[in-house]
Homo-oligomer: A and B are copies of this chain.
């Protein structure tokens, strides 16, 4: 039984690298690739792969969003996140969205094959270097936000004041103020500037 493999990555060189490594493998059925989230979703309407290798950074949506969307529509698909060293903070959110594993972009052919094999057995595959770094980062990094907090964070980043947000969300300004306090506390920062910088860097906005 061949594994139907699909890639979503905006870098042709990466796609070509994976293709060159895996195309000749007997257990891999190379379905193709997409450069962005839209093309990926469009492809999935006609074909259903077994495994999708998905870059965290895409030109239109973030891989995190795309992962959530894909798994909501096609729960049977296994998604393996792809990332570079300095983006490990995103991985845990990708796993939260239901991804089955992740690889670093410097993975060898053997490691990619192992990852695909592992997730096909309904187990999780975490690249060694990356899971080590995640362990290290676990404490400090990306906070867990509630629905409302995420919403408020987004609106702050759009430039709205507490009064404007209160009106938009049909709550009191003091409520917004509370959400802000919680955001500052969760990100462990003391003002909006750093909050928005971190939130932007961590792709919350």
A residues bordering B, Cβ < 8 Å? 10-21, 35, 57, 59, 84-86, 104-109, 156-159, 161, 189-194, 196-197, 200-201, 205
Q: Is the CB of A105 within 8 A of B14?
A: yes
CA distance in complex: A10, B108 (Å) = 12
Contact indicator B11/A105 (Cβ below 8 Å): yes
Q: Are A197 and B196 in contact, CB atoms less than 8 angstroms apart?
A: yes
Counted per complex, copies of this chain come to 2
C-alpha gap A205/B14 in the complex (Å): 27
Chain B residues with Cβ below 8 Å from A109 are 16
Known: A12-B107, A159-B191. 4 other contacts (CB 8 A): A13-B107, A16-B21, A57-B84, A159-B193
**Nearest chain B CB to A188's CB is how many angstroms away?**
11
In the complex, the chain B residue whose C-beta lies closest to that of A82 is B13
What B residues does A158 contact at CB under 8 A?
A: 193-194
Q: Which residues of B contact A35 (CB under 8 A)?
A: 106
Q: How far is the CA of A108 from the CA of B12 in the complex (A)?
A: 7
**Are B194 and A157 within 8 A (Cβ)?**
yes
Please name the residue on chain B nearest to A194 by beta carbon.
Answer: B159
Given contacts A86-B57, A158-B194, A205-B197, contact A18 B10 (CB under 8 A): no
In the bound complex, what is the Cα–Cα distance between A197 and B203 (angstroms)?
11
